[in-house]
Chains A and B, each alone.
Chain A
């Protein structure tokens, strides 16, 4: 009993439960007590299940202080398997380890080890599959990156679209040229991945599928215009199947098809609009025009979609290679130049508000240009005209070469040589033609012709400065060369006479005597020996061949009549009658050689 004021003492029981959190107003939240199953689980974790449940040793061990939960009879099964640490006398002699127990324990431990390994292996396979899936994901993105580095892409909603047209390079062709990028998900993870599998696929417009090229060829004109119907076909197919092609091959092929379509559209538009003497015919996918009479130039767009086998039209099969690759390449170059022109900075407006157009044409108004000046500024020649000119030139050049070669193989004396120049333009080439005699090239080199082959004409420049213009006719060139060859023989005699010491008495390139030649003119020369006793007269014509006459002194003539006028003996030294030489029976491999022998024979040794 105390005398002081009462003190309130609060007694609180020890907190059995843990505080989970203290809220801002001081209220404590306790961790809720474990339910029965939770408690069991917590205790079960402490149990060591390695010991076998029906070992005799365990059952013999006396139980020490039981745990409070043991009172609950429901959980009795687990507690039987509990093992306790007990200190008791252990008789080592009485211990036996029966083999059965060892076997069972080993089996159990192996089973657990195996289970662990299997679990680990399962985890590994799962992670490997995930990696593969991820790699496929990454592959699509890396492919997309590569695609983006080469092609223009843009995103529209959730679709990725691209542009394969030439519009950003200056083309004005109205095709949209859009392709779509799609993800290739039709792949089965379990099956083996095919070698050419690509996670990225492109969908090109349906009219650009397959491959195309422009075929340019020159043929003899077909007699019947009805033959034009089905067009020339496709050359050998590329090997790759279209479905499994890589996207870059697909895109490049589609772009090529688009360019060929643009070229053909431009050509056909010009073919219809341009007025020319012989109108161009446009039939389906073929444009026909006549560069020279009797010839036909055909430009056709060959587009194969690769779906069905192409029906091979039989007449063309005989000539698979009359396709002029050069002209096809030139067509591509020309259209690209046309593209570049629309993009050149000459077109850009200064001041910026003026419309696009060539800057010099903008001056037409203020400077009051007339029609001639304006037309000189504007592009006068279209694609079709340019390509026809090029085709004409190619044809003329090949025909000239053929003519020269045929003459060279046919005629051995004199020899004709052609030196073609390596550098030429699309509209002009040149060749130097030399006519020589074998063995006497240094002496007889007076006939040297420079042929400038143009689009429609051949211009010949002679060594002595004469200029002759020949038309495209093959015969003209041939006749001209033949006449030059015959002139060469006579020139050769002239040169030879100089070397041998003979004197030229007369020389004419075009004699008016003798039979008329149908090709060119005959030439003639008369040379006298150094002593003056003999002369040789040669007349050579392209058609009539050569005729050689020799004049002897009167003393050697057998059938000379004695006359009263000439009484002195010295007159017999003068030259008398002519005698013809059987030229065909002369020895010598060519004309000049024979002539040299003849001259040598007529010059007596001193």
Chain B
């Protein structure tokens, strides 16, 4: 029996075309408390939400140069919660005046057999790390303050050591393509966090 035809046209619409607007910054460990207080005051009125996640980065090396990267993340505090698989595209080279980094983003929830599935598909795990910290929200904006920890023995999330003496601060919004007012709101929010932390657009290509 023939395999059913695979559509050549890309899927558009729905949640496929979501863009992630991102601003990043960092604070030293000793300034963390004041940053958390500030965020508690600026963001929506909720109890602070702590998280501890284990992220694995998978690469699919094809014949061409660029390997395809997928990020699989699970929560260590909520073991029954589903895994989260994420694809992040290349940052959009729009006008330079856009204040945030914009890239295509596909988010999928997956069951607990995700690592096996990815291995079967041909992906190989490139690296993994543990992130612990707190999440804040303000409307559609999400602020994640996380400490990145290196996993010493692969698969063992108990033995970890911090990668640096600072916390990573990320301000992100998931929005459909074409909404530029989002970056304005993000910029004005980032202004309010100065001088505790400087959130800016960091191009990942320049870091490599």
- Chain A residues with a Cβ under 8 A of chain B: 154, 167-170, 172, 343-345, 348-356, 359, 362-367
A345 CB contacts on chain B under 8 angstroms? 46-47, 49
Q: Would you call B53 and A366 a contact (CB within 8 A)? A: no
Q: Would you call B45 and A168 a contact (CB within 8 A)? A: yes
Q: Would you call A154 and B82 a contact (CB within 8 A)? A: no
Any A CB within 8 A of the CB of B118: no
With both beta carbons as reference points, the residue of chain B lying nearest to A350 in the complex is identified as B75
Tell me the interface secondary structure of chain B in the complex: strand
A348 CB contacts on chain B under 8 angstroms? 46, 49, 135, 137
A367 CB contacts on chain B under 8 angstroms? 111
Q: Would you call A353 and B53 a contact (CB within 8 A)? A: yes
**Contact A168:B110 (CB < 8 A) given known A350-B51, A362-B81:** no
Any A CB within 8 A of the CB of B192: yes
With both beta carbons as reference points, the residue of chain A lying nearest to B107 in the complex is identified as A355
A351 CB contacts on chain B under 8 angstroms? 51, 53, 55, 73-75, 81, 83-84
**A331 CB → nearest B CB, Å:** 22
> Counting chain A CB atoms within 10 Å of each CB, which of B77, B86, B109, B137 scores highest?
B109
Instruction: From the candidates B83, B112, B146, name the one contacting A352 in the complex (CB within 8 A).
Output: B146
A348 to B43, CA, bound (A): 13
Q: Would you call A362 and B44 a contact (CB within 8 A)? A: no
Q: Would you call B139 and A353 a contact (CB within 8 A)? A: no
With both beta carbons as reference points, the residue of chain A lying nearest to B131 in the complex is identified as A352
- What does the 1/0 interface line of B105-144 toward A look like (CB < 8 Å)? 0011111100000000000000000010101011110101
Q: Would you call A352 and B81 a contact (CB within 8 A)? A: no
Any A CB within 8 A of the CB of B37: no
B138 CB contacts on chain A under 8 angstroms? 168
Q: Which of B1-58 contact A (CB under 8 A)?
A: 43-47, 49, 51, 53, 55
B83 CB contacts on chain A under 8 angstroms? 351, 366
**Contact A172:B74 (CB < 8 A) given known A345-B49, A351-B84, A354-B107:** no
> How many contacts A-B (CB < 8 Å)?
85
Task: Given contact pairs A168-B45, A351-B53, A352-B131, enumerate 18 new A-B contacts (beta carbons under 8 Å).
Answer: A169-B45, A343-B44, A345-B46, A345-B47, A348-B46, A349-B51, A350-B77, A351-B74, A352-B135, A352-B144, A353-B73, A353-B86, A353-B107, A353-B144, A354-B84, A366-B82, A366-B109, A366-B111
A453 to B138, CA, bound (A): 43
Any A CB within 8 A of the CB of B78: yes
Tell me the interface secondary structure of chain A in the complex: loop
Any A CB within 8 A of the CB of B71: yes
A253 to B180, CA, bound (A): 33
Any A CB within 8 A of the CB of B69: no
The contact sample of 24 A-B pairs, CB cut-off 8 A, is A154-B192, A167-B44, A168-B43, A168-B44, A344-B46, A348-B137, A350-B51, A350-B78, A351-B53, A351-B73, A351-B83, A352-B51, A352-B144, A353-B71, A353-B84, A353-B107, A353-B144, A354-B73, A354-B84, A355-B107, A355-B174, A362-B81, A366-B82, A366-B110
A351 to B133, CA, bound (A): 11
**A170 CB → nearest B CB, Å:** 7
Q: Would you call B75 and A365 a contact (CB within 8 A)? A: no
A154 to B44, CA, bound (A): 15
A366 CB contacts on chain B under 8 angstroms? 82-83, 109-112
A172 to B44, CA, bound (A): 12
With both beta carbons as reference points, the residue of chain A lying nearest to B54 in the complex is identified as A351
B137 CB contacts on chain A under 8 angstroms? 348, 356
A344 to B112, CA, bound (A): 26
**B137 CB → nearest A CB, Å:** 7
A350 CB contacts on chain B under 8 angstroms? 51, 53, 75, 77-78, 81
**A529 CB → nearest B CB, Å:** 79
A344 CB contacts on chain B under 8 angstroms? 46
A95 to B139, CA, bound (A): 101
With both beta carbons as reference points, the residue of chain B lying nearest to A365 in the complex is identified as B109
**Contact A343:B45 (CB < 8 A) given known A154-B192, A172-B139:** yes
Instruction: From the candidates A154, A167, A355, A359, name the one contacting B139 in the complex (CB within 8 A).
Output: A167
Q: Would you call A362 and B53 a contact (CB within 8 A)? A: no
**A509 CB → nearest B CB, Å:** 60
A302 to B15, CA, bound (A): 39
Instruction: From the candidates A170, A355, A365, name the one contacting B110 in the complex (CB within 8 A).
Output: A365
A331 to B193, CA, bound (A): 36
A133 to B131, CA, bound (A): 56
A167 to B55, CA, bound (A): 32
B77 CB contacts on chain A under 8 angstroms? 350
A354 to B144, CA, bound (A): 11
Instruction: From the candidates B46, B135, B140, B192, name the one contacting A349 in the complex (CB within 8 A).
Output: B135
The 4 closest A-B pairs by CB, nearest first: A366-B111, A351-B53, A350-B75, A351-B73
Q: Would you call B81 and A359 a contact (CB within 8 A)? A: yes
Q: Would you call B135 and A365 a contact (CB within 8 A)? A: no
**A423 CB → nearest B CB, Å:** 32
B43 CB contacts on chain A under 8 angstroms? 168
A348 to B44, CA, bound (A): 12
A172 CB contacts on chain B under 8 angstroms? 139
With both beta carbons as reference points, the residue of chain B lying nearest to A364 in the complex is identified as B109
A167 to B141, CA, bound (A): 12
A366 to B72, CA, bound (A): 14
A359 CB contacts on chain B under 8 angstroms? 81
A80 to B133, CA, bound (A): 93
A352 CB contacts on chain B under 8 angstroms? 51, 53, 73, 75, 131, 133, 135, 144, 146
A168 to B41, CA, bound (A): 10
With both beta carbons as reference points, the residue of chain B lying nearest to A342 in the complex is identified as B44
With both beta carbons as reference points, the residue of chain A lying nearest to B81 in the complex is identified as A350
**Contact A363:B82 (CB < 8 A) given known A167-B139, A351-B75, A355-B107:** yes
Q: Would you call A356 and B142 a contact (CB within 8 A)? A: yes
> Counting chain B CB atoms within 10 Å of each CB, which of A349, A362, A367 scores highest?
A349
**B172 CB → nearest A CB, Å:** 9
Q: Would you call A354 and B146 a contact (CB within 8 A)? A: no
A350 to B131, CA, bound (A): 12
B44 CB contacts on chain A under 8 angstroms? 167-170, 343
B53 CB contacts on chain A under 8 angstroms? 350-353
> Counting chain B CB atoms within 10 Å of each CB, which of A168, A345, A354, A356 scores highest?
A354
Q: Would you call B192 and A363 a contact (CB within 8 A)? A: no
**B6 CB → nearest A CB, Å:** 21
**B110 CB → nearest A CB, Å:** 6
**A411 CB → nearest B CB, Å:** 58
